[in-house]
């Protein structure tokens, strides 16, 4: 399996599909508490259509090393930069889902946009998910405190309830006939493989303000979100973010849940392909 050694000696796992002869390259950053595998539907689709696709397991997640320190968005951005530099990727499209949206935004702030041509945010935590004076539609910090307490008390139970409920919107009566036990079990399994400390500390990245990161973007940006996202309120996410982007495009999925890359993959895949090759 391909790994790269980071500046602190940690091993970062990554996938690199269809690297030969591709004219476009997309680099994916996954959401909490998952791994690069969360992007398999998109990566298979795009690689089958001539796009080089790269995705990594964030440190502490999946197959990457479970480091005790550096489980924060600045270090995730630096890890991503090391991977991009190692593979000498250029003219790339960055794609971030949920927490991964914060990671790709912070990458452009800390490492510039010289290697990036476009950026995509899907159900992202930017510009600011936690409720505050500048983000009145955000999530009260007490909710995040309850997440942290639940993980420390009984992570397995909590990681059963999240995918069975709000993450994929399976708690909505309208989708009761579309509930996927396999998808729930997969989310649980991958999440439980991650470091408890990493998934615990990741929740603090949802309290970061990424407004300045977005304002600094000088490249085309696509923001995709479902209007029934129960994890990141759409008013605090997509609708707030689009106001900060110089070259932004907004795509709202009516009734879409937070995990739309799995619940509506066909539409997401087509939107990504059109944006990448457009």
Residues carrying an active site annotation: 98, 229, 258
**Pair of tokens at residue 248:** 């932004």
**Pair of tokens at residue 114:** 């010289």
Q: Do residues 63 and 1 lie in contact, with contact meaning Cβ atoms separated by under 8 Å?
A: yes
Nearest-angstrom CA–CA distance, 5 and 1: 13
Peptide bond before residue 83 is cis, with ω within 30 degrees of 0: no
Residues 6+ apart with CB under 8 A from 90: 25, 115
Residue with tokens 């600011």: 128
SS3 268: helix
Residues 6+ apart with CB under 8 A from 125: 98, 99, 101, 102, 205, 206, 208, 210, 232, 237
Q: Do residues 15 and 36 lie in contact, with contact meaning Cβ atoms separated by under 8 Å?
A: yes
Pairing of strands 3-5, 116-122: unpaired
> What is the Rg, in whole angstroms, of the alpha carbon atoms belonging to the chain?
17
SS3 29: strand
Nearest to 200 by CA among 145, 237, 247: 145
């Amino acid at each position: 399996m391909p790994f790269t050694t980071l500046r602190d000696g940690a091993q970062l796992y990554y996938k690199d599909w269809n690297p030969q002869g591709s004219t476009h390259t997309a680099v994916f950053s996954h959401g909490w508490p998952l791994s690069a595998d969360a992007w398999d539907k998109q990566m298979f689709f795009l690689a089958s259509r001539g796009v080089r696709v790269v995705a990594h397991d964030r440190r502490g997640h999946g197959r990457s090393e479970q480091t005790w320190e550096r489980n924060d968005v600045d270090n995730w951005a630096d890890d991503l930069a090391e991977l991009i530099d190692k593979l000498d990727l250029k003219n790339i499209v960055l794609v971030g889902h949920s927490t991964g949206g914060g990671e790709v935004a912070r990458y452009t702030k800390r490492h510039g946009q010289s290697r990036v041509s476009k950026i995509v945010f899907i159900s992202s935590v930017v510009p600011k998910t936690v409720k505050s004076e500048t983000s009145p539609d955000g999530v009260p910090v007490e909710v995040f405190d309850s997440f942290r307490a639940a993980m420390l008390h009984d992570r397995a139970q909590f990681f059963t309830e999240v995918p069975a409920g709000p993450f994929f919107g399976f708690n909505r009566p309208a989708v009761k006939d579309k509930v996927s036990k396999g998808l729930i079990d997969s989310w649980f399994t991958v999440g439980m493989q991650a470091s408890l400390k990493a998934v615990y500390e990741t929740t603090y990245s949802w309290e970061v303000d990424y407004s300045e990161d977005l304002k600094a973007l000088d490249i085309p940006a696509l923001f995709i979100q479902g209007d029934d996202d129960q994890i990141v309120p759409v008013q605090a996410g997509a609708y707030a973010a689009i106001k900060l982007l110089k070259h932004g495009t907004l795509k709202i999925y009516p009734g879409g849940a937070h995990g739309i890359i799995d619940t509506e993959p066909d539409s997401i895949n087509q939107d990504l392909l059109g944006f990448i090759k457009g």
